[in-house]
Structure 1
Amino acid sequence: MLGLDVCEFGGQVLELLWLTVCYRGLMADNNDFAIEEDEDEKKLNYIPPAQKSLMEIQEMDKEDESLVKYKKTLLGPVPVTADISVPNVQVTRMTLLCDEAPEPITVDLTGDLKAMKEQTLVLKEGAKYRIKIEFKVSREIVAGLRYNHVVRRKGINAVDRKSYMVGSYGPKAEAHTFLSPVNDAPKGMMARGRYEIHSRFIDDDKNVFLDWEWNLDVNKDWN
């Protein structure tokens, strides 16, 4: 009985220590769960190049046969139809790829994003996983796509922040796929629990194509 009490007391001390270290985060506005501009981009003062439409690019240097062939190989054929009623970039699906998972961990991003906040994805502590995002480009080339996310836990903002360059893509009937580097789920008693994640798909011109929030539970096992 004494051993159990000591373990519980030790856990409480560690929890208190963790909250103390994160005190400054606790003092922030809990409702401010925003993704800010990447610090490296601020330092570089990066200015994206002027964007040209796909048709403009196709019409450029038409007399240069080798360049025309290169652009056709690089960009593919101009889409026969392009529905202007849909966004140029549509983010359709997010999957957590994990070989250890008993079943696929997939989220449909074309539905009600508010309802998605009520769902929770589960990872076993210490599991290795990658974030896979599928998206479509409908009409024009999109430059400098980037996937950003910020993680909040127990009301503390930015316990983790990621920014991945996805790249530039042209229109295509099939979905494009972004695959993140391998991530390790947090591990240990103090790391278990719920994490709130704010994700964003954005381009060089700061066009936000999708902004969504989701929950991740890190558990001792898969149940």
Structure 2
Amino acid sequence: MSDQDDDLVPSQTAGYKVGEKKTLDEYKNLDSNDESLKKWKESLGLNAAVTGPTDDPRRVVILQIALEVPGRDDVGLDLSTPELLENVKNKPFTIKEGVEYRMKVKFRIQHEVVSGLKYLQVVKRKGIRVDKTEEMIGSYGPNPTSEPYEKKFMTEEAPSGMLARGHYDAKSKFIDDDGVTHIEWSWSFDIKKDWD
């Protein structure tokens, strides 16, 4: 890992120990008489039949990450294929200064349970870090239907003023409690006085 990527290391919670990794079948058969564990497994979708493409080896498929602004269409980045992921860094988008927004992500989980999925983001301007975001997404089992999961982040406010306007470079990734990076990409945006 290069020095630049040290910004994309998730924080550690003192005393937290990651549980032992299990297969789907092990989770399904785990303490079948324990009612609270049964409800937890249902929340992960472990009791439903899992559908979806079996030739795609990815466990976490990020379909889209978007900026949700009240009264406007979402500004979304399609990340569903490696080709689309590669293209996002060449297409900066505009954010109006001072606007309230929140990010949201649509994703699918395949093949096995993913524990402690997190979103990390570092934003730099002229090579200097100006923001770091770490958002817990949660633990999920493989989607039992074709409907993707969606997670909305906390509402934020874009910086404003003459000094805030300009071009920003960002790097993002999704990582889980096992330290597996499921997707990592670079992208950029411009903060302007207005949307156009």
Superposition RMSD in Å: 2.4
Taking a change above 3 Å as real, the CA distance of residues 194 and 84 of structure 1, as seen in their structure-2 partners, is same
State the TM-score, normalized to the length of structure 1. 0.76
Give the Å deviation of 1:191.
0.2
Q: How many residue pairs align between the two structures? A: 189
Q: Larger helix proportion, structure 1 or 2?
A: 1
CA contact (8 A) 2:103 2:152 kept: yes
| Partner amino acid, structure 1, of 2:54 | D
Q: What SS class does the counterpart of residue 190 from structure 1 fall into?
A: coil
State the percentage of identical aligned residues.
32
Structure 2 Cα separation of the partners of residues 198 and 81 of structure 1: 29
Structure 1 Cα separation of the partners of residues 102 and 37 of structure 2: 37
Structure 2 Cα separation of the partners of residues 125 and 80 of structure 1: 42
2:132 to 161, 180, 183: 161
Taking a change above 3 Å as real, the CA distance of residues 105 and 50 of structure 1, as seen in their structure-2 partners, is same
Taking a change above 3 Å as real, the CA distance of residues 52 and 78 of structure 1, as seen in their structure-2 partners, is farther
CA contact (8 A) 2:8 2:172 kept: no
| Partner amino acid, structure 1, of 2:75 | I
Taking a change above 3 Å as real, the CA distance of residues 216 and 57 of structure 1, as seen in their structure-2 partners, is same
Structure 2 Cα separation of the partners of residues 123 and 107 of structure 1: 14
Give the Å deviation of 1:171.
1.0
Q: What SS class does the counterpart of residue 181 from structure 1 fall into?
A: coil
Q: What SS class does the counterpart of residue 95 from structure 1 fall into?
A: strand
CA contact (8 A) 1:92 1:109 kept: yes
Q: How far does the alpha carbon of each residue in 1:158-180 deviate from its partner, in whole angstroms, 9 at most, with x for none?
A: 21101011110111132111111
Give the Å deviation of 1:85.
3.3
In the other structure, the counterpart of 2:163 is 190
State the TM-score, normalized to the length of structure 2. 0.86
| Partner amino acid, structure 2, of 1:176 | Y
Taking a change above 3 Å as real, the CA distance of residues 166 and 87 of structure 1, as seen in their structure-2 partners, is same
Structure-to-structure mapping, 1:1-223, within 5 angstroms: 32=4, 34-39=6-11, 41=12, 44=14, 46-62=16-32, 64=33, 66=35, 70=39, 73-74=42-43, 75=45, 76-79=47-50, 83-101=54-72, 103-111=73-81, 112=83, 113-156=85-128, 158-172=129-143, 173=145, 174-223=147-196
Structure 2 Cα separation of the partners of residues 79 and 68 of structure 1: 20
CA contact (8 A) 2:52 2:110 kept: no
Q: Larger strand proportion, structure 1 or 2?
A: 2
Larger radius of gyration: 1
| Partner amino acid, structure 2, of 1:53 | T
For structure 2, the 5+ residue unaligned runs are none
